[in-house]
Amino acid sequence: MTSSIFSEMDWDEGIAMPVANNENKLMEDELLRMQKEISLYSGDVADHDDRIHNMSQHLKNVRQELTHNLELINAHTRELETEEHLNSIAERENGRLNQEMLRLDKDLHKMREKRNNFENKIFIQSQQLEEFKSQMNWDQQALEAWLEESARRDEDAITLQKYSTQDQSKSKELALLMGHLTEEAQKKRKYLDHETTETLTAQIELDKTAEEFRKAHADRQRLIAQWEVTIEQMQRRD
Protein backbone atom coordinates (compact mmCIF):
# COMPACT_ATOMS: atom_id res chain seq x y z
CA MET A 1 0.00 0.00 0.00
CA THR A 2 2.83 2.35 0.91
CA SER A 3 4.56 1.56 -2.40
CA SER A 4 1.43 2.52 -4.30
CA ILE A 5 1.24 5.79 -2.43
CA PHE A 6 4.90 6.59 -3.21
CA SER A 7 4.31 5.62 -6.82
CA GLU A 8 1.43 8.04 -7.07
CA MET A 9 3.69 10.69 -5.61
CA ASP A 10 6.51 9.88 -8.15
CA TRP A 11 8.72 9.30 -5.15
CA ASP A 12 12.30 8.30 -5.97
CA GLU A 13 13.50 5.46 -3.79
CA GLY A 14 17.00 6.93 -3.85
CA ILE A 15 15.71 10.05 -2.02
CA ALA A 16 15.28 9.56 1.68
CA MET A 17 11.88 10.21 3.16
CA PRO A 18 11.74 13.47 5.11
CA VAL A 19 12.13 12.67 8.73
CA ALA A 20 9.54 14.36 10.82
CA ASN A 21 10.04 12.30 13.92
CA ASN A 22 11.26 8.97 15.25
CA GLU A 23 8.06 7.23 14.23
CA ASN A 24 8.60 8.23 10.63
CA LYS A 25 12.19 7.04 10.86
CA LEU A 26 11.06 3.66 12.06
CA MET A 27 8.50 3.45 9.30
CA GLU A 28 11.15 4.34 6.74
CA ASP A 29 13.47 1.64 8.04
CA GLU A 30 10.66 -0.90 8.01
CA LEU A 31 9.76 0.11 4.51
CA LEU A 32 13.33 -0.31 3.28
CA ARG A 33 13.58 -3.70 4.94
CA MET A 34 10.35 -4.85 3.35
CA GLN A 35 11.50 -3.59 -0.05
CA LYS A 36 14.73 -5.61 0.28
CA GLU A 37 12.79 -8.73 1.26
CA ILE A 38 10.42 -8.22 -1.64
CA SER A 39 13.36 -7.89 -4.04
CA LEU A 40 14.98 -11.00 -2.55
CA TYR A 41 11.76 -13.03 -2.70
CA SER A 42 11.09 -11.81 -6.23
CA GLY A 43 14.49 -13.18 -7.33
CA ASP A 44 13.79 -16.50 -5.58
CA VAL A 45 10.37 -16.74 -7.19
CA ALA A 46 11.89 -16.06 -10.62
CA ASP A 47 14.52 -18.74 -10.01
CA HIS A 48 11.85 -21.19 -8.89
CA ASP A 49 9.75 -20.35 -11.93
CA ASP A 50 12.73 -20.98 -14.21
CA ARG A 51 13.50 -24.27 -12.49
CA ILE A 52 9.87 -25.35 -12.66
CA HIS A 53 9.74 -24.42 -16.36
CA ASN A 54 12.98 -26.29 -17.07
CA MET A 55 11.81 -29.33 -15.13
CA SER A 56 8.47 -29.26 -16.94
CA GLN A 57 10.24 -29.15 -20.30
CA HIS A 58 12.57 -31.94 -19.23
CA LEU A 59 9.63 -34.04 -18.03
CA LYS A 60 7.84 -33.39 -21.32
CA ASN A 61 10.92 -34.47 -23.28
CA VAL A 62 11.33 -37.56 -21.11
CA ARG A 63 7.69 -38.50 -21.66
CA GLN A 64 8.01 -37.97 -25.42
CA GLU A 65 11.17 -40.06 -25.52
CA LEU A 66 9.48 -42.76 -23.43
CA THR A 67 6.47 -42.77 -25.76
CA HIS A 68 8.77 -42.96 -28.79
CA ASN A 69 10.73 -45.84 -27.24
CA LEU A 70 7.52 -47.69 -26.42
CA GLU A 71 6.36 -47.25 -30.01
CA LEU A 72 9.69 -48.59 -31.28
CA ILE A 73 9.47 -51.55 -28.91
CA ASN A 74 5.91 -52.29 -30.02
CA ALA A 75 6.89 -51.99 -33.69
CA HIS A 76 9.88 -54.26 -33.15
CA THR A 77 7.68 -56.75 -31.29
CA ARG A 78 5.16 -56.75 -34.14
CA GLU A 79 7.95 -57.27 -36.65
CA LEU A 80 9.30 -60.19 -34.65
CA GLU A 81 5.82 -61.71 -34.44
CA THR A 82 5.38 -61.21 -38.19
CA GLU A 83 8.77 -62.78 -38.86
CA GLU A 84 7.95 -65.78 -36.67
CA HIS A 85 4.60 -66.16 -38.42
CA LEU A 86 6.18 -65.96 -41.88
CA ASN A 87 8.91 -68.38 -40.84
CA SER A 88 6.26 -70.81 -39.63
CA ILE A 89 4.39 -70.48 -42.94
CA ALA A 90 7.61 -70.93 -44.90
CA GLU A 91 8.53 -74.04 -42.90
CA ARG A 92 5.09 -75.56 -43.43
CA GLU A 93 5.26 -74.75 -47.15
CA ASN A 94 8.75 -76.21 -47.30
CA GLY A 95 7.53 -79.42 -45.67
CA ARG A 96 4.56 -79.61 -48.03
CA LEU A 97 6.77 -79.11 -51.08
CA ASN A 98 9.18 -81.77 -49.86
CA GLN A 99 6.32 -84.22 -49.40
CA GLU A 100 4.97 -83.33 -52.83
CA MET A 101 8.39 -83.87 -54.42
CA LEU A 102 8.71 -87.25 -52.70
CA ARG A 103 5.27 -88.25 -53.95
CA LEU A 104 6.08 -87.15 -57.49
CA ASP A 105 9.37 -89.04 -57.35
CA LYS A 106 7.53 -92.20 -56.30
CA ASP A 107 4.91 -91.74 -59.02
CA LEU A 108 7.61 -91.15 -61.61
CA HIS A 109 9.46 -94.27 -60.47
CA LYS A 110 6.27 -96.33 -60.73
CA MET A 111 5.53 -94.95 -64.20
CA ARG A 112 9.04 -95.80 -65.34
CA GLU A 113 8.64 -99.33 -64.04
CA LYS A 114 5.29 -99.66 -65.84
CA ARG A 115 6.82 -98.33 -69.04
CA ASN A 116 9.70 -100.80 -68.80
CA ASN A 117 7.25 -103.66 -68.20
CA PHE A 118 5.14 -102.66 -71.18
CA GLU A 119 8.20 -102.31 -73.36
CA ASN A 120 9.33 -105.78 -72.32
CA LYS A 121 5.88 -107.22 -73.04
CA ILE A 122 5.74 -105.53 -76.41
CA PHE A 123 9.20 -106.82 -77.24
CA ILE A 124 8.21 -110.38 -76.30
CA GLN A 125 4.95 -110.17 -78.23
CA SER A 126 6.78 -108.70 -81.22
CA GLN A 127 9.15 -111.66 -81.16
CA GLN A 128 6.19 -114.05 -80.95
CA LEU A 129 4.54 -112.24 -83.84
CA GLU A 130 7.68 -112.56 -85.94
CA GLU A 131 7.86 -116.25 -85.07
CA PHE A 132 4.24 -116.73 -86.16
CA LYS A 133 4.94 -114.84 -89.36
CA SER A 134 7.97 -117.04 -90.03
CA GLN A 135 5.92 -120.16 -89.26
CA MET A 136 3.15 -119.03 -91.58
CA ASN A 137 5.64 -118.28 -94.34
CA TRP A 138 7.24 -121.68 -93.84
CA ASP A 139 3.85 -123.45 -93.98
CA GLN A 140 2.96 -121.53 -97.13
CA GLN A 141 6.25 -122.50 -98.73
CA ALA A 142 5.76 -126.12 -97.71
CA LEU A 143 2.27 -126.10 -99.20
CA GLU A 144 3.49 -124.67 -102.46
CA ALA A 145 6.29 -127.25 -102.63
CA TRP A 146 3.87 -130.06 -101.91
CA LEU A 147 1.45 -128.82 -104.55
CA GLU A 148 4.25 -128.70 -107.08
CA GLU A 149 5.36 -132.19 -106.12
CA SER A 150 1.80 -133.49 -106.23
CA ALA A 151 1.24 -131.93 -109.63
CA ARG A 152 4.34 -133.59 -110.94
CA ARG A 153 3.36 -137.00 -109.53
CA ASP A 154 -0.28 -136.54 -110.48
CA GLU A 155 -1.51 -137.79 -107.09
CA ASP A 156 -5.07 -138.24 -106.11
CA ALA A 157 -7.04 -135.00 -106.43
CA ILE A 158 -9.13 -135.81 -103.33
CA THR A 159 -6.04 -136.10 -101.13
CA LEU A 160 -4.71 -132.87 -102.56
CA GLN A 161 -8.03 -131.12 -101.91
CA LYS A 162 -8.12 -132.39 -98.33
CA TYR A 163 -4.56 -131.26 -97.63
CA SER A 164 -5.20 -127.93 -99.26
CA THR A 165 -8.34 -127.43 -97.17
CA GLN A 166 -6.48 -128.22 -93.96
CA ASP A 167 -3.59 -125.92 -94.83
CA GLN A 168 -5.95 -123.15 -95.84
CA SER A 169 -7.77 -123.53 -92.54
CA LYS A 170 -4.47 -123.43 -90.68
CA SER A 171 -3.36 -120.42 -92.71
CA LYS A 172 -6.59 -118.64 -91.85
CA GLU A 173 -6.07 -119.45 -88.18
CA LEU A 174 -2.52 -118.16 -88.35
CA ALA A 175 -3.70 -115.05 -90.18
CA LEU A 176 -6.38 -114.43 -87.57
CA LEU A 177 -3.88 -115.00 -84.78
CA MET A 178 -1.41 -112.68 -86.44
CA GLY A 179 -4.13 -110.03 -86.82
CA HIS A 180 -5.09 -110.47 -83.18
CA LEU A 181 -1.49 -110.19 -82.04
CA THR A 182 -0.94 -107.19 -84.28
CA GLU A 183 -4.01 -105.49 -82.84
CA GLU A 184 -2.90 -106.36 -79.31
CA ALA A 185 0.59 -105.01 -80.02
CA GLN A 186 -0.93 -101.79 -81.36
CA LYS A 187 -3.02 -101.43 -78.20
CA LYS A 188 0.06 -102.03 -76.06
CA ARG A 189 2.01 -99.49 -78.08
CA LYS A 190 -0.80 -96.95 -77.73
CA TYR A 191 -0.96 -97.55 -73.98
CA LEU A 192 2.82 -97.23 -73.77
CA ASP A 193 2.68 -93.93 -75.63
CA HIS A 194 -0.01 -92.74 -73.22
CA GLU A 195 2.07 -93.79 -70.21
CA THR A 196 5.13 -92.12 -71.71
CA THR A 197 3.16 -88.89 -72.14
CA GLU A 198 1.97 -89.07 -68.53
CA THR A 199 5.52 -89.74 -67.40
CA LEU A 200 6.80 -86.71 -69.29
CA THR A 201 3.94 -84.62 -67.87
CA ALA A 202 4.80 -85.78 -64.35
CA GLN A 203 8.45 -84.95 -64.98
CA ILE A 204 7.49 -81.46 -66.14
CA GLU A 205 5.29 -80.98 -63.06
CA LEU A 206 8.14 -82.19 -60.86
CA ASP A 207 10.58 -79.77 -62.49
CA LYS A 208 8.03 -76.96 -62.17
CA THR A 209 7.44 -77.78 -58.49
CA ALA A 210 11.18 -77.88 -57.85
CA GLU A 211 11.58 -74.51 -59.57
CA GLU A 212 8.73 -73.04 -57.50
CA PHE A 213 10.34 -74.42 -54.34
CA ARG A 214 13.69 -72.91 -55.24
CA LYS A 215 12.01 -69.59 -56.03
CA ALA A 216 10.02 -69.64 -52.76
CA HIS A 217 13.22 -70.44 -50.86
CA ALA A 218 15.08 -67.58 -52.58
CA ASP A 219 12.18 -65.18 -51.85
CA ARG A 220 12.19 -66.25 -48.23
CA GLN A 221 15.94 -65.72 -47.93
CA ARG A 222 15.62 -62.28 -49.55
CA LEU A 223 12.74 -61.36 -47.20
CA ILE A 224 14.72 -62.49 -44.15
CA ALA A 225 17.68 -60.39 -45.31
CA GLN A 226 15.39 -57.36 -45.67
CA TRP A 227 14.05 -57.96 -42.16
CA GLU A 228 17.56 -58.18 -40.75
CA VAL A 229 18.53 -54.90 -42.45
CA THR A 230 15.36 -53.21 -41.15
CA ILE A 231 15.94 -54.48 -37.60
CA GLU A 232 19.59 -53.41 -37.74
CA GLN A 233 18.55 -49.93 -38.91
CA MET A 234 16.00 -49.68 -36.10
CA GLN A 235 18.61 -50.74 -33.56
CA ARG A 236 20.97 -48.10 -34.90
CA ARG A 237 18.25 -45.46 -34.59
CA ASP A 238 17.58 -46.61 -31.01
**Tell me, what amino acid is at 63?**
R
pLDDT value, residue 2? 43
pLDDT for 74 equals: 79
Confidence at residue 159, expressed as pLDDT on a 0 to 100 scale: 56
Alpha helices in the chain (DSSP H): 2-8, 22-153, 157-237
The amino acid sitting at 11 is W
pLDDT at 138: 56
Q: Quick one: fold of 78-237? A: Helix Hairpins (1.10.287)
DSSP state of 15: S
> What pTM, to 2 d.p., does this model score?
0.32
Tell me the pLDDT band of 219, cut-offs 50, 70 and 90: confident
The string of pLDDT tens digits covering residues 9-65 is 454 554 444 545 777 778 877 778 777 777 776 666 667 777 777 777 877 887 888
Q: Which amino acid is at 67?
A: T
Give, in order, the Cα–Cα distances in Å from 175 to each of 133, 178, 236: 9, 5, 90
Q: How far apart are CA 204 and CA 197, in angstroms?
A: 10
User: What's the pLDDT tens digit per position in 97-118?
Assistant: 778 777 777 777 777 777 777 6
